[in-house]
Amino acid sequence: MEVKDLALSPKEDVENVLCEDVTVEEAPEMIKLGEKMIEACAKWGGIGLAAPQVGIKKKMFIWTVGEDLNGRNFQIVFNPKYFVIGKKQMMLEGCLSYANSHFLIERYRRRIAYYYSFFGGKFVKIVKPLLGLKAVIFQHECDHVDGQTIAMKGEKLDEEKNKAFIDSLKSDIPSEKKEIPKEGTGAGGSAIYSFTPNLGDSK
């Protein structure tokens, strides 16, 4: 597999895609791909990107880790799995595969994640409890490698509410989120927001 410049696949190729586990033999090449994906994801204003979104049918994604989600501190994840615990909440999510759209989706607040990293020529299993936003990003990307997307599971905001939401982000970004690139959110980056479902009729 030669890693070229990456491009986003059309959503038809992302929905219901079947991805295979990454093998130890494939890992070095997948790391090269992961590095390209990190570059592309940062450029596109996303906070996570799964291999099938760029046409690679493998269970691999990159995601933003660390306390500062805007710090672009990405990590490569192989063969992820999780189980959920705790309460559900409604989230408003965007995705690089659905530019300019946001979807309301029910997510669990906590989950236990399992995945592999590659060190010294072998896979190392990582088990981690995840809370809040990180739990949501992890599930969003896990869904991708299982052929599921927010458009398949969530409820799309209509045009007016979507526009109102994007405008509200631009005018009312809390100080700690000031670095969210406007282009990223406006162009449908993989932004994920904690959300109270009250976009009602009033603007």
**Which tokens belong to 127?**
């088990």
Query: What's the rounded Cα separation, in Å, for the pair 147 and 196?
Result: 27
* Distance in Å from the first CA to the final CA of the chain: 49
The three-state secondary structure class of 166 is helix
Nearer to Zn ion, 22 or 47 (CB): 47
Segment near Zn ion (CB under 5 A), from 34-42, 94-102, 124-132, 174-182? Answer: 94-102
- Count CB-CB contacts under 10 A for residue 65: 19
95 binds Zn ion (CB under 5 A): yes
Nearer to Zn ion, 166 or 192 (CB): 192
191 binds Zn ion (CB under 5 A): no
Least distance to Zn ion, CB of residue 67, Å: 22
Segment near Zn ion (CB under 5 A), from 21-29, 80-88, 89-97, 127-135? Answer: 89-97
Nearer to Zn ion, 95 or 130 (CB): 95
Backbone torsions φ then ψ of 175, nearest 5 degrees = -55, -40
Query: What's the rounded Cα separation, in Å, for the pair 184 and 66?
Result: 19
Least distance to Zn ion, CB of residue 144, Å: 6
22 binds Zn ion (CB under 5 A): no
Q: Which residue is nearest to Zn ion (CB)?
A: 95
Residues with catalytic roles: 141
Would strands 74-95 and 60-64 be described as parallel, antiparallel, or unpaired?
antiparallel
The three-state secondary structure class of 56 is coil
- Length of the chain as a residue count: 203
Nearer to Zn ion, 70 or 148 (CB): 148
Segment near Zn ion (CB under 5 A), from 29-37, 61-69, 87-95, 107-115? Answer: 87-95
